[in-house]
Amino acid sequence: MGTAVLFEVHDHVATVTLNRPEKKNAINRAMRKEVQEAFSQIKHDPEIWVAIITGSGEVFCSGKDLLEKLPDQDSEVMSNDELYLYLRFIYKPIVIALNGPALAQGAGFALNSDIVIMSERASIGWPQVKRGISSVSGPSYIPHAVPWNQAMGYLMRGRFISAADAFRFGIANEVVPHDQLMETAQRWVAEIMENAPLAVQAIKEAARRGQELPVSDRMYLARDIANNVLRSEDAREGILAFKEKRKPIWTAR
């Protein structure tokens, strides 16, 4: 990728690390381009089955680099808003490990991931109102994740949701001591990887695509996706392994 984002793949798991700690991982154009490249590889590389996103330093991401001056249009690089949606509709499991505060765009990444693991030092927030500006990810996502009055209480005051409150609201799956963050994220990944990757991706696809549909349409969509998975080699392997009382060997085919 480059230096602003570290990217590695090991045993079908991609790890993406925001790596501008001296700037609190504020997202400038260079980092945004590297994040885009990482997300694209996760989406399209069949050898990647699960991804972990984290940050280096004390802050996961402080949001957009407000000191960078760029033209409004940039045909080569997605906007932050486009990156949220791109991440949201990658149908592979995304585990985000928040090593510190996830603010503005960083919070948008957290709320568009599937599993959220938070260090006890982490928080989620949208401080834009303190700078005289509004937010996209805040009003787009947090009022749909927590009760309205709680969402407005955080957004209108520019206050941060602590790790403990994020867990209480159901935003975080687990909150752990800081030195156990990556170990915990990897445990979640290992548990996901015990299952057939195509089936896991199908679950996410059906859930994401069906979120805004009426229940009957959601069910027909989920049935079509499930039927496709039934024709896979992994489906045959899963049934055979069950009959033979052994652990299945998945190939994502």
pLDDT at residue 39 tops 90: yes
State the pLDDT at residue 69. Answer: 73
* Mean of per-residue pLDDT scores for the chain: 95
**pLDDT-derived band at 66, boundaries 50, 70, 90:** confident
List of domains in the chain: 5-193 (3.90.226.10), 197-244 (1.10.12)
90-142 confidence digits (pLDDT tens): 999 999 999 999 999 999 999 999 999 999 999 999 999 999 999 999 999 99
Question: What φ, ψ does residue 205 adopt, rounded to 5°?
Answer: -60, -45
The length of the chain is: 253
CA–CA distance, 101 with 160 (Å, rounded to integer): 8
Average pLDDT rounded to a whole number, residues 185-191: 98
CA–CA distance, 138 with 70 (Å, rounded to integer): 23
State the pLDDT at residue 73. Answer: 62
By CB atoms closer than 10 A (0-12, 13-18, 19+), residue 149 is exposed
State the pLDDT at residue 2. Answer: 79
**Collapsed DSSP state (helix, strand, coil) of residue 202:** helix
- Asked whether the beta carbons of 59 and 101 are under 8 A apart, the reply is yes
pLDDT at residue 206 tops 80: yes
